[in-house]
Structure 1
Amino acid sequence: GAQVIVIGLSNETVHGKHGLEMTPDVSIEEAPKADTLDGIVIPGGWAPDKLRRSQGVLQLVRDIHAQGKIVGTICHGGWVPISAGIIKGRKATGSTGIKDDITNAGGIWVNEEAFREGNMVWGRVVEDIPAFCRELVAAFAERT
């Protein structure tokens, strides 16, 4: 089975825009190093706008990506790999609200529900979560 670790900017409970509450297992300062992780999944919504301002988050994403491990993102989650500087020349998707950000960062905008591009797994929007999860599970399964 998989072990999932929820990493937050702090240990405080966060509240999603649709009422979901989540308490991180660890803060970014306490997070395991990339070499002990199989990958990272960045959520959508508005949280990525805060996550991309954290140098700790950006460095963890860069390190995971540099090791060829899975970086999964959906919807506005694409802001984090954009800010981490890892999408230049690569296919990417997300909410149409980040389309310009993707292209301005050198990414290649693709309007597909979900796909894999190298070690990255992309999902477009919340309605595409089933397709995103299928791609994500397949990507992690291939690593084991």
Structure 2
Amino acid sequence: MAAASLGRMNVAILVTDGFEQVEMSEPRKALNEAGAKTSIVSPKEGRVRVWNFTDWGEEFPVDMTLSEAHPGEFDALLLPGGVINPDTLRINEGAVHFVQAFLDSGKPVATICHGPWTLIETGRLRGRRLTSWPSLQTDLENAGAEWVDQEAVVDGNLVSSRKPDDIPAFNKEMISLFVREGARRTKDGRS
């Protein structure tokens, strides 16, 4: 991955308490190393607390509350998993509308593990191909998506992955998608 390949790309990371730490921190590190600017967006003010595999972990500062954030200010979206985080976000109308705006505008979206739960609520997965933690297979199929058991799946502007062990493959595909979509949007004259 080129060091500045995502220069000037502004990526929102939508989370609340209970996101899986490694599913946010490792992709965020990869994005930052590739030149992107990442911002934690949350319905919560102040700090969000992570789930670290089997127990509560550290806290991260919220860069922007969901009520302050506008999808138009961002070029891409990252949706980490963890069970608590997406289960909370999917019943937050503002969070669902925020995610929906990225899908509707064709901006790239990356999601891992249980993160697709929030995507399901947008009603925009019919005909899409993606992966997730295995327990979401039926939920995704009921939403009209094709679920596949692969490390990382790219379908148009959407990249998905199954679990923390898949993060190296996920990061590679996420960066590739974000670079490709960023170049396409620049060529088309869109921000």
| TM-score normalised by L of structure 2 | 0.72
1:35 to partner: Cα distance: 2.1
C-alpha separation in 2, matches of 1:78 and 1:134: 19
State yes or no: 1:104 paired with 2:138.
no
Question: Of residues 120, 124, 134 in structure 1, which corresponds to 2:172?
Answer: 134
- Which range moves more in the overlay, 17-26 or 45-54? 17-26
1:62 — aligned with what? 100
> In the alignment, is the contact (CA less than 8 A) between 2:119 and 2:125 conserved in 1?
yes
Instruction: Give 4+ residue runs of structure 1 displaced > 6 Å after superposition.
Output: none
| SS in structure 1 at match of 2:39 | coil
C-alpha separation in 2, matches of 1:97 and 1:54: 21
Unaligned runs of 5+ in 2: 1-34, 184-191
1:14 to partner: Cα distance: 1.9
C-alpha separation in 2, matches of 1:58 and 1:119: 17
C-alpha separation in 2, matches of 1:22 and 1:77: 18
Which protein is bigger by CA-based radius of gyration? 2
More strand by share: 2
> What letter matches 1:105 in structure 2?
A
State yes or no: 1:94 paired with 2:132.
yes
Identity, % of aligned positions = 36
C-alpha separation in 2, matches of 1:124 and 1:90: 16
1:94 to partner: Cα distance: 0.4
- Which range moves more in the overlay, 9-18 or 69-78? 9-18
Q: How many residues align?
A: 143
RMSD between superposed Cα atoms in Å: 1.1
C-alpha separation in 2, matches of 1:17 and 1:60: 23
1:116-127 pair list within 5 angstroms: 116-127=154-165
1:23 to partner: Cα distance: 1.8
> What letter matches 2:79 in structure 1?
I
1:16-27 pair list within 5 angstroms: 16-18=50-52, 19-27=57-65
1:75 to partner: Cα distance: 0.2
Question: Of residues 45, 48, 55 in structure 1, which corresponds to 2:82?
Answer: 45
| TM-score normalised by L of structure 1 | 0.94
